[in-house]
């Protein structure tokens, strides 16, 4: 069962999404928040699998709540941001923070439930090609963040990191490097640990913000 914390200052939106999610046998809404501050309080109270956050809320925005929640590395909570617009700069900042998805409020019920399940399973809800396009477009506006972390990677790990940064899937990386997919997953896990990042999307951000691609 995937537990969800829903945060939106519009009660009609909360009601509609709660009804959508309640129809799925594998999803349960364990909390609702009316603003960003309330969302953070409830996030500390409930150890949820996924937070579904409106990007624009009183007190704290969804991005601010996500940054705070995802900064707690003792939890494995995923975040999906909910909005009425899909401007690239909001999507990119969400990727930098480490969110798992960016969902329009106009999305169909199937898309919303699928997004929750995909996020809970550790997947990012943007295609690799879209992710790479956005990162290439906006990464130059940020200062490099590498503090010598790359030196901790082995040669093979750097090869895998470069492949991830170009948008290749695990299967494509395995074929290109002549290794098993499970080995690719192991390398990615070690890279994430060494660079203190949450997911492969943040690996893409790391690569381009440090001028490596």
Whole-number percent of the chain with pLDDT over 70: 92
CB contact burial 122-145 (16+ within 10 A = b; e otherwise) = ebbbbebeebbebbeebbeeeeee
Most confident of 66-70, 127-131, 174-178, 204-208: 174-178
Long-range contacts of 33-38 (CB under 8 A, 24+ apart): 33/5, 33/6, 33/7, 33/8, 34/7, 34/8, 34/9, 35/7, 35/9, 35/59, 35/60, 36/7, 36/60, 36/61, 36/62, 36/64, 36/65, 38/7
pLDDT at 190: 95
Please indicate whether residue 158 or residue 141 has the higher confidence score (pLDDT).
158
Q: What is the pLDDT of residues 65-86, one digit of tens each?
A: 999 988 877 788 999 988 876 6
The reported pTM is 0.73
Quote the pLDDT of residue 70: 87
Instruction: Collect all residues with Cβ–Cβ distance below 8 Å to 12 and sequence separation of at least 6.
Output: none
Per residue in 30-50, pLDDT (tens digit) is: 999 999 999 999 988 888 999
CA separation for the pair 15, 8 (Å, rounded): 10
pLDDT tens-digit series, residues 180-198: 999 999 999 999 999 888 7
87-91, 130-134, 201-205: range with highest mean pLDDT: 201-205
128 or 73, higher pLDDT? 73
Strands 50-54 and 27-33: unpaired
């Amino acid at each position: 069962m995937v537990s969800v914390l829903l945060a939106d200052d519009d009660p009609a939106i909360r009601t509609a999404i709660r009804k959508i999610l309640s129809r799925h046998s594998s999803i349960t809404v364990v909390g609702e928040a009316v603003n960003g501050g309330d969302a953070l309080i409830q996030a500390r109270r409930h150890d949820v699998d996924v937070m579904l956050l409106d990007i624009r809320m009183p007190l704290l925005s969804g991005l601010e709540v996500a940054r705070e929640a995802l900064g707690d590395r003792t939890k494995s909570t995923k975040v999906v941001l909910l909005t009425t617009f899909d401007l690239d700069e909001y999507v990119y900042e969400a990727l930098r923070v480490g969110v798992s998805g960016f969902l329009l409020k106009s999305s169909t019920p199937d898309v919303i439930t699928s997004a929750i399940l995909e996020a809970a399973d550790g997947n990012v809800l943007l295609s690799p090609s879209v992710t790479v396009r956005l990162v290439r477009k906006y990464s130059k506006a940020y200062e490099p963040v590498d503090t010598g972390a790359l030196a901790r990677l082995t040669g093979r790990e750097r090869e895998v990191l470069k492949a991830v940064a170009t948008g290749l899937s695990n299967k494509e990386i395995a074929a290109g490097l002549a290794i098993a997919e499970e080995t690719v997953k192991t390398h990615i896990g070690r890279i994430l640990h060494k660079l203190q990042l949450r997911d492969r999307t943040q690996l893409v951000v790391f690569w381009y913000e440090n001028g490596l691609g």
